[in-house]
Structure 1
Amino acid sequence: MTMLGVAVAIGAPLTIYLWRVRRRNHEIGRGLAALAGMRWREFSGFVVEALQAQGFGADRLESSPKGGQTADLKLTRNGESWLLSCKQGLNYRIDASHVASLADAVRFAGASGGIVATLGTIQKDAQASSRGMELMDGQAVWALVEPLLPAGLRRELGEYAQRRNIRELVLAWVVALLLGGAVAFATSNGADSNSEGEDAGVSAPSTAASTATPAAGEQDSDAPTAATAAQDAPAPAPAAVAASPPPDSGLDETQQRRKVVERVRQLAGIKQVSWSTRSTLLVVMDGSVADGPAFTGSICAILENYEALRASRLQLQPPEGSDARVRFMQCRNY
């Protein structure tokens, strides 16, 4: 996968999440902070006004919550009394004890029910023992009073959330591009390592055999016999060249080396083939075809198709157990 593809795969879902979820969370968080900064009477007035849509009406509105007072407001609906407790602080944690106190106040006042509205959170133990009380945390209170807020305040909250969201989007795409580049780089390095491993040789035994015999071959090259001199002479370009496939155009040198290994391996009389060095092609014979111009000519015909490899040296390794010696030859001089 390309760098751009990885970046899009990471950045697109992040963009959707940031725009649809985080932007709204920024707006709600800023809005709750604005409600917490109001006077208690203004905050509770918004709550009561929002509850009017559910049929509630304010029977008494205190100017501020009294110390130790469980319920702050008394509401009426269909002739029945309800108690409302407004907890304005963002750090309020309504637990089971708060619910129990409001339930006792409801029974004492002979009310039909109670409502807790807080800008903080409702603890799990309070939710589990609600005793019929309506519990509203910051998210629920915001959804209730947001439509009643002044248009200027709502516009300010939206602009703030959008600015925060744009900064997060830019950061998200920078991270996505960096991760895409890292993945593309790691993938490219992995592919290069695999190709180098294939060119290094088919198996370890051939390397051991080649390192054990070249010294003898190099000693013999100083005083060659007539037969050996004839074999070591550059092989003439055989007629098989005309029948070989055209060169593979557009391949880099590493790919060309891999192609040479694949094609030489398919020739008769070949047991194993690999590049022992960048300029030496190691060919291990299986003994089914005699070493000679016809045998080496077919290998040279393949090398002839690759301009960068035409002058490579052949290291001809006799079959295991043979009395023949390792010999070196070059299909074409530089």
Structure 2
Amino acid sequence: MSIWFLGLAVTLVSGAAATAYFWLVRRPRDEMSYGLHALSGLRWREFSKLVLAAMARRGLVEASPDPQDSREPQSTFLLARGDERWLLSCKHGSAYRIAAAPVQELAASIRLGAAHGGILATEGNVEKEGRDAAQGNTIELLDGPRLWPEVVDLIEPSLRDQVIDYAAARAKRHIGIAWLGAVAIGALAMAAWPNTPAPARPAAGAPSPAAPGAAIPAPAPPQPATFREPTEEELEIQMREVLKALARTPGVTRGVWQTKLTLSVDLAAGEQDVWPRICIELERYPALRTSRVQLNPPPGSSEPVRWRQCKTL
């Protein structure tokens, strides 16, 4: 086998396998993760309406809704499908870790209300104790991984496109890094291939020529530097550091993260003076440098709200 063919084959197989993993497996997981974080940024009423719309597609509609639009957040809804009555309980927030108590509370409400069953919806996760408590009761648990497919087609198109684009950009970045690694692996396979012609040995009795200096083997190609995605805790710390820096930046009134992908900045001065300073703070952190920035003009200004981005992919 040609050594070049070996290196090419190893590179193509490694790169194709990494591409399939990051695009077909990792990208959908990232879309769900970023999407659930985006849902956690919604107001309580917006989240409950989104879940109610998802239930309406199942044929479960709100039974006798209150005509008065209450200002208090409502977490439990009575749904109807024909003669059946279902209770929907919404736990809003990605930090929720549902144990047994909320499930048992919903089960008690089902019995008192003589309902057919219940549904518990949350962007968070239901722990083992909560799943065990749901067994034996007609309760469907829609935590993060199960809730996202129900509502992904119902969220605002611009927000959905933003989530999809962010996950796709991350997958493309990792695929590019993986292909660099595949090239390095192919080069290492070529260097390690043992089927190389042995040097000719001198005939017996023939004077041995002066041995040339030992050839220095070519160094293996350096491994490409990889960009490590921060953990959720690290990302939260980086976001807080950006807000602290903006609070000390001249021309900025305040900064607020609307979602993990969108930063809103209230300006006290002209955009041209402040924008480079904002980018300096965002570009300190690779995970935040492509964030969308909403620039709100100073009070009394006739300038419109602008959307900008320090770095593009």
Q: Which residue of 1 aligns with 2:92?
A: 88
Partner of 1:121: 125
Letter in 1 for 2:14: I
Q: Give the counterpart letter for 1:146 in structure 2.
A: V
Aligned residues of 1:99 and 1:126 also touching (Cα < 8 A): yes
The code of the aligned residue for 2:161 comes to R
Q: Tell me the residue number matched to 1:108.
A: 112
- Deviation string for 1:29-53 (max 9, x for gaps)? 2211111100011011011011111
Of 6, 19, 29, 2:23 maps to 19
SS at match of 1:90: coil
- Pick from 122, 137, 146 the counterpart of residue 140 of structure 1: 146
Residues 39-70 of structure 1, C-alpha deviations (whole Å, 9 max, x = no match)? 0110110110111111111134765446xxxx
Q: Which residue type is aligned with residue 17 of structure 2?
A: P
1:174 equivalent in structure 2: 180
Letter in 2 for 1:31: G
Query: Is contact 1:106-1:113 (8 Å) kept?
Result: yes
Equivalent residue for 1:6, pick from 7, 10, 33: 10
TM-fit CA distance, 1:96: 2.4
Unpaired runs of at least 5, structure 2: 209-313
2:309 corresponds in structure 1 to none
Aligned equivalents of 1:64 and 1:9: distance in 2?
57
TM-score (norm 1): 0.54
Tell me if the contact between 2:116 and 2:138 (Cα under 8 Å) persists in the aligned partners.
no
TM-score, normalised via structure 2 length: 0.58
* Equivalent residue for 1:183, pick from 168, 186, 189: 189
Kept in 2, the 8 Å contact 1:86–1:116? The answer is yes
Larger radius of gyration: 1
> 1:146 and 1:63, CA in 2 relative to 1: closer, same or farther beyond 3 A?
farther
Q: For 1:137, give the aligned amino acid.
A: D
CA deviations on 1:106-134 (whole Å, 9 max, x unpaired) are 11222221110010112233223312201
The answer to whether the 8 Å contact 2:54/2:150 transfers is yes
Q: Is the 8 A contact 1:15 1:169 kept in 2?
A: yes
Q: 1:280: how far off? A: 5.8
Q: Deviations over 1:126-183 (max 9, x none)?
A: 2233122011111221111111122222222222122111111111111222222223
2:61/2:80 contact within 8 Å kept: yes
Corresponding residue SS for 1:83: strand
Whole-angstrom distance in 2 between the partners of 1:83 and 1:63: 21
Q: What letter corresponds to residue 40 of structure 1 in structure 2?
A: W
Aligned letter for 1:34? A
Q: Across the two proteins, how many residue pairs are aligned to each other?
A: 198
> Which SS does the other structure have where 2:13 is aligned?
helix
Separation in 1, partners of 2:23, 2:31: 12
Letter in 2 for 1:139: P
* d(CA) in 1 for partners of 2:190, 2:100: 54
* Aligned mates of 1:168, 1:180 — CA distance in 2: 18
Residue 281 of structure 1: aligned partner: 204
Q: Indicate the structure with greater helix content.
A: 1
Q: Could you say if the C-alpha distance between residues 63 and 187 of structure 1 is closer, same or farther in structure 2, counting changes exceeding 3 Å?
A: farther
Q: Larger deviation: 151-160 or 37-46?
A: 151-160
Q: What's the CA shift for 1:5?
A: 1.6
Residues 40, 64 of structure 1: 8 Å contact kept: no
Indicate the residue corresponding to 1:78 in structure 2: 82
The amino acid across from 2:30 in the alignment is H
Cα–Cα, structure 1 residues 158 and 169, in superposed 2: closer, same or farther, change >3 Å? Answer: same
33, 43, 57: which one aligns with 1:53: 57
SS at match of 2:42: coil
Contact 2:44–2:92, Cα closer than 8 Å, also in 1: yes
Alignment match, 1:155: 161
